[in-house]
């Protein structure tokens, strides 16, 4: 009998279990960092279902807007993020941190974000949006590569050496701008610098014209998240980010970490 992980002690009865819904969610979960696009044959093999079934699931999810079709391949759309946005925005960490993010935005006049490392990606769990729109569509639940984001490098710097080595082995960095660092040896050096200095600055690697700076959020001596400020190059030099944004971020991170230790 199927059993779901719910807050209700009573197991889900066979008559109440919708297997097609469960399989549809499995289809969405089949898309990950190693499988960013899948064909009908790919999905059938990955889930152990027939090609006809795989095709129906893919076309249904495409019709609902959760996938887009590119020739024989299917890719997730940003609508998938709406499934996680409610969860992430209601977690204790997000709720606790939100006032501090808004305070950072008031003091810097820039957007402030809180992110965690999930499946080798930075997932944004809280945000305070300034009036400037730097990355259209970026919201709670959005995910970005860890290797080219300030939050990502802070979180990677906190990994044990064996986990960092595994991440670098499994990740194939792609140039998202002319400045994106994709050589793994250079990335390792940058991450080592972040570990030593306690913060990360990423200059136009994710997107041309975008700079960001991030510091860790610590609970019980362990980095569990990272908080960042992002700005356009026309508003923030690297010197300003270090002299003005960094102290504000560190203050907010310290207050969030202290709140976590009391909760």
Read off the CATH number of the domain in which 112 is found.
3.30.450.40
Q: How many CA atoms lie within 13 A of 85 on its CB side?
A: 11
Asked, for residue 8, whether it belongs to a domain, the answer is no
For residue 173, the enclosing domain spans: 82-262
Measured between alpha carbons, how far is 214 from 49 in angstroms, rounded to an integer? 43
- Contact, 213 vs 229, CB < 8 A? yes
> 27, 44, 76 — which closes off a domain?
76
> 52, 76, 100 — which closes off a domain?
76
Q: Are strands 143-145 and 200-203 parallel, antiparallel or unpaired?
A: unpaired
pLDDT tens-digit readout, 205-250: 999 999 999 999 998 889 999 999 999 999 999 999 999 999 999 9
Measured between alpha carbons, how far is 96 from 137 in angstroms, rounded to an integer? 24
Measured between alpha carbons, how far is 99 from 93 in angstroms, rounded to an integer? 11
Instruction: Determine whether 97 is exposed, middle or buried from the number of CB atoms within 10 Å of its CB (0-12, 13-18, 19+).
Output: buried
- Provide the pLDDT for residue 230: 94
> 56, 76, 96 — which closes off a domain?
76
pLDDT band at 9; cut points 50, 70, 90: very low
Tokens for 232, please give them. 């356009």
pLDDT tens-digit readout, 113-158: 999 998 788 988 899 988 876 676 677 778 889 999 999 999 999 9
Instruction: Determine whether 26 is exposed, middle or buried from the number of CB atoms within 10 Å of its CB (0-12, 13-18, 19+).
Output: middle
Task: Give yes or no: residues 69 and 92 share one domain.
Answer: no
């Amino acid at each position: 009998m199927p059993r779901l992980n719910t807050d209700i002690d009573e197991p889900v009865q066979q008559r109440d279990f919708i297997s097609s819904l469960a399989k549809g969610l499995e289809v969405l979960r089949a898309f990950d960092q190693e499988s960013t696009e899948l064909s009908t044959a790919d999905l059938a093999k990955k889930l152990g279902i027939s090609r006809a079934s795989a095709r129906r699931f893919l076309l249904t999810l495409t019709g609902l807007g959760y996938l887009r079709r590119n020739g024989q391949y299917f890719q997730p759309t940003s609508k998938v993020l709406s499934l996680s946005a409610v969860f992430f925005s209601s977690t204790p960490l997000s709720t606790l941190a939100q006032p501090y993010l808004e305070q950072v935005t008031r003091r810097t006049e820039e957007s402030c974000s809180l992110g965690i490392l999930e499946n080798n990606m930075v997932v944004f769990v809280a945000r305070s949006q300034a009036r400037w729109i730097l990355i259209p569509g970026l919201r709670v639940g959005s995910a970005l590569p860890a290797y080219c984001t300030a939050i990502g490098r802070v979180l990677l710097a906190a990994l044990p050496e064996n986990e960092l080595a595994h991440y670098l082995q499994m990740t194939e960095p792609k140039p998202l701008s002319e400045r994106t660092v994709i050589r793994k040896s250079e990335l390792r050096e940058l991450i080592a610098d972040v570990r030593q200095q306690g913060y990360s600055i990423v200059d136009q690697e994710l997107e041309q014209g975008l700079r960001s700076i991030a510091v860790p959020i610590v609970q019980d001596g362990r980095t569990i998240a990272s908080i960042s400020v992002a700005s356009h190059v026309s508003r923030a030099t690297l010197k300003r980010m270090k002299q003005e944004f960094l102290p504000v971020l560190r203050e907010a991170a310290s207050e969030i970490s202290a709140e976590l230790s009391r909760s």
